[in-house]
A and B are shown apart, each in its own frame.
Chain A
Amino acid sequence: MAVLLLAEVTNGELALDATAKAVTAAKALGDVTVLAAGASAAAAGEAAAKIDGVAKVLVAEDASLGHRMAEPTAALIVSLAGDYSHIVAPATTDAKNILPRVAALLDVMVLSDVTGVVDGDTFERPIYAGNAIQTVKSSDAKKVITFRTASFDAAGEGGAASVETAGAAENPGLSEWVEDKVAESDRPELTSAGVVVSGGRGVGSEEDFKIIEALADKLGAAVGASRAAVDSGYAPNDWQVGQTGKVVAPELYIAAGISGAIQHLAGMKDSKIIVAINKDEEAPIFQVADYGLVADLFEAVPALTEKLG
């Protein structure tokens, strides 16, 4: 069996962590060919070739693949699909946009956010905001899968795969990219960070979110947020952790001023160690916390920042 893996490429650069985690998941299924597609993708292809376990890299460079618009990118993958039993990608917004389109064009179902591979046909995935795990067996000829990266370790470096070029498929010309508004961040990327410090409604204002950021910076952590904090404008939406935001599983997750709604827990309850700081001792977050502290976060968080490091 052979696997085609859509690499995560942003502005010509490979997102190594997400791609390497998907490689780990895909290796169990067969020989892995990585597809690096974009307006510029050669450097990303070279980087992907070094991931341990990658058998081959295909580089598809074309202006139509810039920003990986769903229609031309899906057409490219479908044009290559004949040789592969599995078409996979890390479950990023790019892949969630593209892969269901690929699946429908191939008349097969998609397996979203897979967290476990049982065998070539059988997979585990969380449903109901992670409150149940479903094991499903696909009867489709080709499996189209996105892997939840937080569930797999990143494959190491040391591979030496061959790199070939692939031609872009015809651009259906249905859409065009206008602009990106990228949130600036010097901190580690949320989904791959080893430590995440998150703030919720209890933080109270955008200004006060700085105490969350200060603790994160002390720990070299990424900053996360609950939906309440994002909706209230305290934090940008791409910091949102949860069912509709990002799913993280760091070594340490510190939740300050977060009650712990089902939708938030869906995005962080697989973290190794969870710390909750909340002044409400009844807050549901304490049910999943390894260490809970009932305290005012405006005192506890700065004190923690001072005492760490």
Chain B
Amino acid sequence: MKVLVPVKRVIDYNVKVRVKADGTGVDLANVKMSMNPFDEIAVEEAIRLKEAGKADEIVAVSIGVKQAQETLRTALAMGADRAILVVAAEDVHQDIEPLAVAKILAKVVEEEQPGLVLCGKQAIDNDMNATGQMLSALLGWSQATFASEVDIDGDKAVVTREVDGGLQTIKVNTPTIISVDLRLNEPRYASLPNIMKAKKKPLDEKTAADYGVDTSPRLEIVKTSEPSERAAGIMVGSVDELVEKLKEAGAV
């Protein structure tokens, strides 16, 4: 079985983002970018499936600017076999919407015919949590979102999902889309020799136009603003003082 893993290049999760003063967006110039943390977990799971003999090829795909190539090299260094880069944006500030990404991925799926698509549950930049579900809808496949445990068994996958209130286990027909949650696994680090080897692995470059997908946004960004600042707080010296302050504020 072939596994397709979509990965996204996003601002590194440790970076405190800055909103541009003119309200046009978040400043991404000269900011450290990395693979979306959920996508690392998806890549790791694909590799584990391969190591368990349940997958024979892992194809990583990324959509966006040319620099997303680095993100794909990281996936290759972790253990993906080959990569596809779909260039769809000129500028790093142009985020392709999940609907367009899902449409491009649907075409890639048509071409590659994977038995499974493993994706992250959400990207930490747009926080949409939608691409996997949208891809599943476009393909008419089953979906298993927010996975914390995955067991592929022939034409079925048994997936435990993190839901409000606890865990839910479902069984879905394959081919399927699984979106992964934080607790599915601990992603491995790419070793230096593997980073070197990854440079020789195949990476195909395509464009959105190659797939005939219109990537123009459905949601026009009117403005981007800073969240409202909290008023500065005070430090208290003791538990007694804390209780007193909370009582004054009517909080307890």
From A29-37, A135-143, A154-162, A206-214, give the one contacting chain B.
A135-143
Asked if A181 contacts B167 (CB within 8 A), the reply is yes
User: A280 in the interface, Cβ–Cβ < 8 Å?
Assistant: no
Q: In the complex the two chains form, is A104's CB within 8 Å of B133's CB?
A: yes
B150 CB–A CB distance under 8 Å = no
| Binary per-residue interface labels of chain B (154-190) against chain A in the complex, 1 for a CB within 8 Å, 0 otherwise | 0000100111111111111100100001110000000
Q: Is chain B's binding surface mostly helix, strand, loop or mixed?
A: mixed
Given A128-B125, A237-B148, CB of A263 within 8 Å of CB of B220: no
A93 to B168, CA, bound (A): 11
- Whether, in the assembled complex, B233 has its beta carbon less than 8 Å from a beta carbon of chain A, the answer is yes
Q: Which residues of B contact A139 (CB under 8 A)?
A: 218-220
- Whole-angstrom distance from the CB of B145 to the nearest CB of chain A? 5
Asked if A89 is at the interface of the complex by the 8 Å CB criterion, the answer is no
User: Smallest Cβ distance from B203 to chain A, in angstroms?
Assistant: 28
Are B164's CB and A136's CB within 8 A? no
- From known contacts A133-B224, A303-B239, infer whether A175 and B133 are also in contact, taking CB-CB under 8 Å: no
Is A288 part of the binding interface, using a Cβ–Cβ cutoff of 8 Å?
yes
Which of the segments A20-28, A53-61, A94-102 contacts the partner chain? A94-102
A104, A113, A140 pick with most chain B CB within 10 angstroms: A104
User: A109-B218, A307-B239 are contacts. A127–B127 as well, Cβ < 8 Å?
Assistant: yes
A97/B133 in contact, CB under 8 A: yes
Docked pose: A183 CA to B163 CA in angstroms: 11
Shortest C-beta distance, A105 to chain B (Å), equals: 5
The answer on a CB contact under 8 Å between B243 and A227 is no
Closest beta carbon of chain A to B71's beta carbon, Å: 18
Q: Which of B97, B140, B173, B246 contacts A175 (CB 8 A)?
A: B173
Q: How far does the alpha carbon of A130 sit from the alpha carbon of B97 in the complex, in Å?
A: 18
- A186 interfacial contact with B, CB 8 Å: no
* A133 to B172 CA separation, bound complex (whole angstroms): 36
Q: Is B143 in contact with chain A by the CB < 8 A criterion?
A: yes
Q: Which residues of B contact A135 (CB under 8 A)?
A: 221-225
Q: With the chains together, A304 CA to B246 CA distance in Å?
A: 11
Among listed B11-19, B52-60, B79-87, B109-117, interface-contacting one: B11-19
Tell me the B88-110 residues at the A interface (CB within 8 Å): 97-99, 102
- Give chain B interface residues in 123-147, CB to chain A under 8 Å: 124-138, 140-146
A94 to B161, CA, bound (A): 11
Question: When the two chains form their complex, are residues B230 and A288 in contact, meaning their CB atoms are under 8 A apart?
Answer: yes
**With A101-B133, A112-B129, A175-B171 given, is the CB distance from A136 to B142 under 8 Å?**
no
Q: Please provide the 7 A-B residue pairs with the shortest distance between their CB atoms, ordered closest to farther.
A: A100-B130, A174-B142, A100-B133, A104-B137, A104-B134, A109-B218, A178-B169
For this complex, 27 residue pairs linking A to B, each with C-beta atoms less than 8 Å apart, are A70-B145, A93-B161, A93-B162, A96-B145, A100-B130, A101-B137, A104-B135, A104-B138, A109-B97, A109-B99, A109-B219, A127-B26, A128-B125, A128-B127, A129-B127, A135-B222, A137-B219, A182-B165, A191-B164, A237-B167, A238-B164, A244-B181, A269-B230, A275-B242, A291-B233, A291-B242, A307-B239
Please list the residues of chain B having a beta carbon within 8 angstroms of any beta carbon in chain A: 11, 13-14, 16-17, 19, 26, 97-99, 102, 121-122, 124-138, 140-146, 148, 158, 161-173, 176, 181-183, 218-227, 230-231, 233-240, 242-243, 245-246, 249, 251-252
